[in-house]
Amino acid sequence: MWHSATARLSLGFVALAILCLGIADLSITAHAPWHELGRLVQGLVQPDVSAVDHLWVALLRTLAFAFVGVGLGATAGFLLALIFHSRLVRSICAFVRAIHELFWALIFLQFFGLHPLTGVLAIALPYAGVFAKVFAEILEETDPLPEQVLPAGSGRLSTLAFTRLREAWPHLVSYTSYRLECGLRSSAVLGFVGMPTLGFYLESAFAQGHYDTVGALLLLFYALIASLRLWVRPLLVPVYLVVAPFCLGSGLPIVWSNVSRFFSEDIVPSPLRHGEGLSGLVGWLGDIMISEALPGIWHTLVLSQIALVLTGLLALALYPLVSRHFFQGRGWHGRWAVAGRQQAGARVPGNRLTHLLGHGLLVVMRSTPEYLLAFILLQLWGPSMLPAVVALAIHNGGIIAHLVGRRSNEVRLRPDAPHGLVRYAYELTPRLYGPFLALLFYRWEIIMRETAILGILGITTLGFYVDSAIQEIRFDRAMVLILITALLNIGVDVLARHLRARLRLRHTANCEP
């Protein structure tokens, strides 16, 4: 096994994570978490929506922002995919997707204010960058032959429509529908910074410890995500897209002079604004680098390395929950044990239930905001990197397990394939390991972006400093730090692509998280 590059790389990553464990502070210090956690659990099992002023409006807004944002992102992404061979386009796309939706929202809030455009662009912009890349890759993988046999002089548009697009269409649709789920999550989370979506009320209720309301909002959100396939139908999507822009709400009017002020004043480094010239600027930048950027980068890297490996382990352990090779069909022999759940001799009806429970668990894992998870774990374990690592791993592990599980359903096994643990260890996991690694590498960059939310744990990641600069209303500093974050993300993205290429991990639709 040492001869396999994949195995060596995987073990290398694990070793690096273990090394980081030695550096990271993972101590447990909480003393009496049970009172507070008891309140939390009690609230979650006794959900109560009555405290939310306009629940249905919030739900409508969550859907509207997701549809408009993803719709615009997909459209723009598709157009960009057609010219993705241009280095300039590729770089711009890499840049816009390297910045987290929440940071985009915080930037747009500065000049559009609480206007729907802020939320729409915060989703559409980074999504366009992701769509452009994935769509371009999907189109590239289509068979070039039909295009070559067309008569000379065929129009570019009709060539595209009848050759590559026709072949790629199912993949494009499948990927877009997956991104819609992500869009719903993003839309909800934008409520944390003031958009009128579910997250707005979730954050309020959570901040005040009104856990019954938190429970109700979370259940509603889980139901929304879990039922996605029931109400997102090919025929209905155009209807949703047309209606959604009218359901965004009105917000406050945009004052356009704020836009020019933002670019000509707010983000200009303060030494330049105060006429201290180049030497002032150098000192200012050096100060940010030494006191914030470098420690921030270090903590971000250590934290994401551990979280990444834990995410991977969790995803590998949980994907069978949603794989038809384990919890569905007659091949089931009841020898399978996963996540502490011992199933003995369950037959088809029981399997159906297990399958639903598995799906349910993954929906809960991937749809609970990491911030909430981190808070609950902070109550349990006290402030250290531990709650952060576990929160990130639960959230991202849920997403990757879901995608790997889905992918496993495309695998066809021989009728005499082994069952249970043997099937898991010697049949399926080796076959899925390539796509699994590809997914994990895509997620790497995302985990790094998500470390931004952990100020509550007293962990000074890059995102922590970005947030501080924004709270201090110093957008010049915030922009420098956001740029550094984006560069770090692009660096990780390039490295991951390089690793994928070296391991020849083939990309397919649905791979990009």
Partner 1 sequence: MLKRLTLALTVLLAAPIASADTFVFTAIPDEDETRLQQRFQNVADYLEQQLEVDVRFVPVKSYAAAVTAFRNNQVQLAWFGGLSGVQARARVPDSRALAQGVEDAEFMTYFIAHQSTGLETGEGLSDRMRDMTFTFGSKGSTSGRLMPEYYLREAFGQPPEEVFSRVGFSGNHSRTISLVASGAYDLGAVNYTVWENEVEAGNIDTDQVEVVWKTPNYPDYQWTIRGDVDERFGTGFADRVQQALLNMEDAELLESFPRSGFIPASNDDYAIIESVGKELDLID
Of residues 77-96, those binding partner 1 (CB under 8 A): 79
Which of 2, 22, 35, 278 lies at the binding interface for partner 1 (CB under 8 A)?
Answer: 35
3-state secondary structure of 31: coil
Whole-angstrom Cα Rg for the chain: 24
Is the CB of 25 or the CB of 143 nearer to partner 1? 25
Q: What is the contact mask toward partner 1 in residues 52 to 71, using x (rule: CB under 8 A)?
A: xxx-------------x--x
Give least dist CB 16 to partner 1, A. 25
Task: Give residue for tokens 């744990």.
Answer: 457
| Binding of partner 1 by 250 (CB under 8 A) | yes
Which of 20, 60, 72, 492 lies at the binding interface for partner 1 (CB under 8 A)?
Answer: 72
Pure H helices in 319-410: 324-327, 348-367, 370-381, 385-408
Which of 251, 331, 350, 418 lies at the binding interface for partner 1 (CB under 8 A)?
Answer: 251
Give least dist CB 378 to partner 1, A. 5
| Binding of partner 1 by 242 (CB under 8 A) | yes
Is the CB of 226 or the CB of 281 nearer to partner 1? 281
Give least dist CB 7 to partner 1, A. 38
Q: What is the contact mask toward partner 1 in residues 106 to 145, using x (rule: CB under 8 A)?
A: ---xxx-xxxxx--x-------------------------
| Binding of partner 1 by 49 (CB under 8 A) | no
Token pair for 493: 């993205």
Which of 158, 471, 491, 495 lies at the binding interface for partner 1 (CB under 8 A)?
Answer: 471
As a whole number of Å, the end-to-end CA separation of the chain is 29
Q: How far apart are CA 261 and CA 266, in angstroms?
A: 7
Q: How many CB atoms lie within 10 A of CB 458?
A: 12
Is the CB of 431 or the CB of 474 nearer to partner 1? 474
| Binding of partner 1 by 280 (CB under 8 A) | no
The helix-helix angle for 294-318 and 385-408 (nearest 10°) equals 40
Is the CB of 454 or the CB of 511 nearer to partner 1? 454
Stretch that binds partner 1, among 235-243, 334-342, 391-399, 438-446 (CB under 8 A): 235-243
Could you give the C-alpha distances from 146 to 140, 150, 317, in angstroms and in order?
Answer: 13, 7, 42
Cβ burial, residue 4 (10 Å; 0-12/13-18/19+): exposed
Which of the residues 347 through 406 are near partner 1 (CB under 8 A)? 375, 378-384
| Binding of partner 1 by 48 (CB under 8 A) | no
Stretch that binds partner 1, among 24-32, 137-145, 318-326, 479-487 (CB under 8 A): 24-32
Sort residue 113 into left (φ over 0), alpha (ψ -120 to 50) or beta.
left
DSSP letter string, 295-329:
HHHHHHHHHHHHHHHHHHHHHHHHGGGG-HHHHSS
Give least dist CB 467 to partner 1, A. 7
| Binding of partner 1 by 42 (CB under 8 A) | no
| Binding of partner 1 by 239 (CB under 8 A) | no
Torsion 103-109-111-117 (CA) sign: positive
Is the CB of 195 or the CB of 403 nearer to partner 1? 195
Is the CB of 58 or the CB of 496 nearer to partner 1? 58
* ∠ CA 62-65-66, rounded to 5°: 85
Is the CB of 442 or the CB of 464 nearer to partner 1? 464
Question: 308 with 447: CB under 8 angstroms?
Answer: yes
